[in-house]
Amino acid sequence: MLSNYFFNALNITNNDDLLAFSKKTNIPVSKLKMYNDERIFPFNHDLKVILKELNITELELKLRLGIIDTSTIEDIIKNSSNISKIIESSGKKNSKEKTLVEPIYTTKLGKLYQDDCLSVIENIPKNSVDLIFADPPFNLNKVYESNINDKLTKEEYLLWTEKWVLGCINILKEGGSLFIWNLPIWNTYISSILNKYLNFRHWISVDVKYQLPIPNKLYPSHYSLLYYSKGKKPNTYNNQRIPLEICRHCGGDIKDYGGYKDKLNSHGLNLTDVWHDISPVRHSKYKTRESNELSVKLMERIISMASNEGDVVFDPFGGSGTTYIVSELLKRRWIGAEIGPIDSIIKRFEDIDFHRDQIKEIQAKKNVLFTEEMNKIRRKNGHWLPETLEMNKKNKSNKLTNK
């Protein structure tokens, strides 16, 4: 069966209908499928032919497809009273009773539910979560331990996405932060939802550390990490700093800071919205499951930046449990949902000391201008050091005082 909005609007329910419509309108089947699969409004001659065949206006077709521009929104606002009554009446018939769920695994600080994220979200009080991080399936037809369908139609995937995104918005506190990790194509749609309810802070590009030949298009070299807050600004923002980049062989500067060296902060460089230092988890020493796994470094950065000890962190797609492990070690309360097996998550908590050492190593290499190793190689080869900067600042200050 063909069941997306576009085909529904054209009264196409099967392949025979599709072929017949194509023949009547002289629009190729491949093009009709493109409009349907990519959720693109038909254009030029195709639009005229479709409107004539259906005997409807362009506005009605847009409404059938859920495409609403500003002028239509203004008309909806003018008639909002009548429209809301129609929608509310329909909603009451379709309302479902909330199902209570219980955690299947708990720690001192966290609760893990083995259930669909939508059910878990329904059971979390509104306006109660300080930080939400979501790493949903990317709909790339990958095999997950949960056996979920990772090859939905574009329409199905986006409808499901809207449900959990709106649920997350409801449970987020005012001043809370929301991060969503996904492919850029999906985050463009997710942004269109979030922009109606939350305040955009950053589109963070996380560099991908490999390259494969892809014909006829630019190579997609980053993951997208959306960062939004509920309200004008987040309640918590702890600045994260990274070390200066140096030559790994001689320890010398890669970038020439010229006369600005003295202005560098001894705690490191400000983090930008392009992250080059997050590597995929591939080494067997750190990888705990077959499918993709989040970097501990990524989660340490996000949780440290956007929450404080005692805050509540929610991750609706548990996966390997990286968010929960890092939250526990950073003394955040956490709530997790994983629809598939959770054995690997529990195993990670049993081996939590391994991850505690990881966190210590990560934190030793941030909020400093040079790490211990960097300091050693720079000192050995006679390069300037943080104490050199401090000395120069004092000398300048003394000269100004003595004038």
* Residues 311 and 224 occupy one common structural domain: yes
* Residues 340 and 257 occupy one common structural domain: yes
Span 110-135, average pLDDT: 97
Task: Give a yes or no: residue 225 inside a domain.
Answer: yes
* Residues 13 and 47 occupy one common structural domain: yes
Closest CA to 358 of 303, 296, 276, 308: 296
- The pLDDT score that the predictor gives to residue 1 is 43
* Residues 137 and 68 occupy one common structural domain: no
Task: Give a yes or no: residue 219 inside a domain.
Answer: yes
* Residues 81 and 174 occupy one common structural domain: no
* Residues 155 and 89 occupy one common structural domain: no
Spatial separation of the C-alpha atoms in residues 90 and 99, rounded to whole Å: 21
Among 43-52, 67-76, 145-154, 163-172, which stretch is predicted with the lowest mean pLDDT?
Answer: 145-154
Task: Give a yes or no: residue 54 inside a domain.
Answer: yes
Supply the CATH number for residue 40's domain.
1.10.260
Contact 248, 373 (CB under 8 A): no
Chain mean pLDDT for the chain: 89
Closest CA to 303 of 314, 288, 289: 314
- The pLDDT score that the predictor gives to residue 38 is 86
* Residues 347 and 288 occupy one common structural domain: yes
Instruction: Say how many C-beta atoms besides its own lie within 10 A of residue 195's C-beta.
Output: 11
* Residues 217 and 327 occupy one common structural domain: yes
Task: Give a yes or no: residue 12 inside a domain.
Answer: yes
Spatial separation of the C-alpha atoms in residues 185 and 153, rounded to whole Å: 14
Residue 287: pLDDT above 70?
A: no
* Residues 136 and 170 occupy one common structural domain: yes
- Position 235: which residue type? N
Percent of the chain whose pLDDT exceeds 70:
89
Region label for 43, one of left (φ > 0), alpha (ψ between -120 and 50) or beta (otherwise): beta
* Residues 169 and 37 occupy one common structural domain: no
Instruction: Say how many C-beta atoms besides its own lie within 10 A of residue 154's C-beta.
Output: 16
Terminal CA-CA length for the chain: 85
Closest CA to 271 of 238, 308, 293, 314: 238
Structural domain that includes position 32: 5-93
Spatial separation of the C-alpha atoms in residues 403 and 387, rounded to whole Å: 25
Supply the CATH number for residue 360's domain.
3.40.50.150
Spatial separation of the C-alpha atoms in residues 375 and 339, rounded to whole Å: 46
Task: Give a yes or no: residue 74 inside a domain.
Answer: yes
pLDDT, one tens digit per residue, over 317-358 is 999 999 999 999 999 999 999 999 999 999 999 999 999 999
- How many domains in the chain? 2
* Residues 89 and 118 occupy one common structural domain: no
Q: When comparing pLDDT for 68 and 366, which is higher?
A: 366
- The pLDDT score that the predictor gives to residue 152 is 87
Task: Give a yes or no: residue 396 inside a domain.
Answer: no
* Residues 113 and 241 occupy one common structural domain: yes
